[in-house]
Structure 1
C-alpha cells in the first residue's frame, strides 16, 4: 500500500532524472548497490584481498561495520527521509541537501580505500554522515511538534553515537569494544525493525492480499516487547560472557522468542504466500524469532551465537530492508503494488536460501566453512544484484503518475 503524500494533487514538473526528489531514491540506489559491492569485497577479503582500511578496522570489524553503518544506515536514511515527509507534511532533504547527505555517506565508504589516510581522518569522515542525518531527521519532526516520532530522532542519534564510539575505541586500540559498539548498533536496528513492523506489517498484510482479513494485535505484547528488547540489546552486547549475564540472556531470549512469535502469528494469514511483497516481511520476521531461539541455544552451545547473528543479519535485517525498499520504491513512484516486478520473487527467495545456507550448513557441517561463506555470499550478491538492476530505472525516473516525489 502506498503511503499518501500531502501534495498528491500537485503535478510534478520533474523531467529527466528524478533521483534527487526524495530520500528513498538515492539511498535505496546506493544501499542495494553497496550490498553487492561490500559482499564481493568481503568474499575477496576471505580469499586474500587487502586494502588500507583493513589495517584500521580489522577484517571482521570492517565487514560488520559496513553492513551496519554502510548498508543498514543508508536504508534507514532513505526510509525515514521519505516517511517523515508523510508524517509531518514538511519537505525533507532533497536536491542539493540530499546530494550532500549522499556524498557524506559515500565518502565514509571510500575513505578506507585511500592509501596513507590517517586513522583520525577515516574516523571523522565516517561519522559526519550520522551527524548531518540526525539533523535532517530531527528538523521536520521538531518543527511541527510530532512528538510521537521523536523516538526516531533518538534512534538515529544512537546510531551516530555508536559509530562515533566505534571509532573512539579503534583510535584507542580497543578493537573488542569497537566491535561491541557496532554490535549494539546492529541490535538497535533490530529494535527499529520491531517498532516499524508493529506499525506497518499488519496494514501491509491485510491490504496486500486478495481477500481482506483482520490482523490481530495483542496490547500486552506491544507494551512488553520493547523494554524486553532493550534489555536484550544491552545484555547480548555487554554482559553475554559474564556468569549472571549468560542466564539473564537465556531468560530474555526465551521471553523475546515468545513475544515476537505471538506478534507474527497475529499478523499471519495463509494468503500471504501469494504475494512476495507480503511474505518477505513475514519470513524476515520469522528469522528474527528464530534468532532469539538460537541465542537461547548459545547459552549451552556457543556456536549458536554465530547462527543467531546471521539469522538476525542476513535473515532479518537484510530481508526486511530488501522487502521495504521494494515496496516503498514501487509505491512512492505511483506504481500498482498489486502488480510488483516478477523478479522480486527470485530476489527474496535467493536471500532466504542465502540465510538457510549460512545458518544450517555450518551447524551440520555440510561443507567447509569457507565454501559456506562463498555460496551464501554468492546468493546474496545475486539477490541484491537482480533487485538493483530491476529497480534502477524506478529510482532514476519520475513517478509514473506525474506527481512529485
Structure 2
C-alpha cells in the first residue's frame, strides 16, 4: 500500500488544494441538504434529523473544506492527502454519531492541521487588518472542537449557543475574503473600460467591519441588544462598501455581478441577524439562512468556479452556468427563508433543498470538466519517471 501511495503521490509532487477540496465540498453540498430533509422524515442519517447537526456539518464541514481549498494553496500530495483523509473521516463519523470520541478526534486532527499550516503563513502580513485572519481562523478551529465537546458532555445550551454565534465568525471571514476578491476584479474591469475605480478594498470600511462583527461576537452573551446594533451597523457598512464598487458598470461581467449578489446577501443577512438580536424576534433561523444559504451558498459556488477556471486559464465571464447556478441559489435562499412564514413550510423546504443541490450539481459539472482538462495522473507519472531517471 505504501509503495502504491508513493507511486501515485511522489514526495515532490505538488497539488493545488482546491483541486481536491472544492470537489469534495461540492459533492458534500449536493448530498448534505437532501439527506437532512430525508432524515427529518425518517429516511436519512438519523443524526441529521436535528438542526444542530445539520448546522454543524454546513459550517464546520462544508465551509471549512472551502477554506482549506481556498487558502492552503499548492502542497505535496502526500501532505494534502492527510488533510483530505482527516476531513473525510470527520464527515463520516459526524453522520454516524456526532457526539462520539472518534468524531471529536477526527475533527480535531483536521482543524489542527489546518491551523498549523495556515496561521504561521498568515501572521507574516504587515497590516493588522490582514493579520486578523489569524485569530479569526484560530477561533473557528477552536470552536469546532468546543462544539463537539459540549455535545459529548451534554451541555446542550452551550453547544447550541456556540453553534449559533459561530455564524458571525464565518460572516466576517466572507466579508474579508469576498471583499479582497471583488475589489481587484472590479478595478480590473474598470481599467479595461478606460475608467478608474477609486474605492477598492476601502480599508476604513473593512476595519469597521472587523471591529463591529468582532465586538458583536464578544458582547453577544452579556449584551445581546448591543450585539444586534453592531451587526446592523456591519450590514450597513457592507452595503456601503458594495455600493461604492459601482457594479452597475460591470453588467458585461456576469461573474462579477454574481459575486456581488453573494456579498449583498451577506449585508442583508447581517442586518436581519442584528434585528433579531435587538428585538428578541423568533426568526433567528430566517436570518441565519440568509447568511448560510444566500451568502455562503452563492459565494461558495462562484468562488469554486472562479478559482478553478482561472487555474486552467479560462475566463469566468464566459461561463453562462454562473448566472444559472447563482439564480438557483437565490431561489434556495428565498424559499428557505419564506418557509418560516408560510403554511406550506414542508413544500418550501423541499424546494430549497432541491435548488441548493441543483446549484452545486452545476458547480460540480464545471469542476469535473476543468479537472478533465488537467491531466493530473499523466503529470504525476511524468514526475515519477523523471525522479527515477535522476
Partner Cα distance (1:229, 1:257) in 2: 9
Name the structure where helix makes up a greater proportion of residues: 2
1:126 CA displacement: 2.0
Partner Cα distance (2:265, 2:184) in 1: 20
1:155 CA displacement: 2.6
Partner Cα distance (1:259, 1:351) in 2: 24
Over residues 233-271 of structure 1, what are the superposed CA-to-partner deviations in whole Å (9 max), with x where a residue is unaligned?
2344x34xxxxx243134213322321111111112313
- For the aligned residue pairs, the C-alpha RMSD in angstroms reads 2.9
| 2:56 equivalent to 1:65 | yes
1:102 CA displacement: 0.5
1:330 aligned residue (301, 309, 322) = 309
SS in structure 2 opposite 1:93? strand
| 2:226 equivalent to 1:232 | no
Partner of 2:172: 191
1:67 CA displacement: 0.3
Over residues 139-176 of structure 1, what are the superposed CA-to-partner deviations in whole Å (9 max), with x where a residue is unaligned?
5456xx44555443333321210011111211110122
- Change over 3 Å in CA distance of 1:208–1:36 after alignment to 2: farther
Partner Cα distance (1:208, 1:318) in 2: 25
1:135 CA displacement: 1.5
| 2:192 equivalent to 1:177 | no
| 2:197 equivalent to 1:214 | yes
Residues 300-315 of structure 1 aligned to structure 2 (within 5 Å)? 300=279, 302-315=281-294
- Change over 3 Å in CA distance of 1:97–1:259 after alignment to 2: same
- Change over 3 Å in CA distance of 1:181–1:146 after alignment to 2: same
List alignment gaps of at least 5 residues for structure 1: 1-13, 83-91, 240-244
Q: Do 2:213 and 2:234's aligned partners in 1 also have CA atoms closer than 8 Å?
A: yes
Q: Do 1:315 and 1:355's aligned partners in 2 also have CA atoms closer than 8 Å?
A: yes
1:70 CA displacement: 0.7
SS in structure 2 opposite 1:100? helix
Partner Cα distance (1:70, 1:337) in 2: 26
Q: Do 1:261 and 1:289's aligned partners in 2 also have CA atoms closer than 8 Å?
A: yes
2:238 aligned residue (260, 284, 294) = 260
SS in structure 1 opposite 2:16? coil
TM-score normalized by the length of structure 2: 0.84
Over residues 86-144 of structure 1, what are the superposed CA-to-partner deviations in whole Å (9 max), with x where a residue is unaligned?
xxxxxx433111111111100000013448x98112211222100011112135456xx
Partner Cα distance (1:32, 1:215) in 2: 35
TM-score normalized by the length of structure 1: 0.81
1:349 CA displacement: 0.7
Q: Do 1:332 and 1:399's aligned partners in 2 also have CA atoms closer than 8 Å?
A: no
- Change over 3 Å in CA distance of 1:297–1:185 after alignment to 2: closer
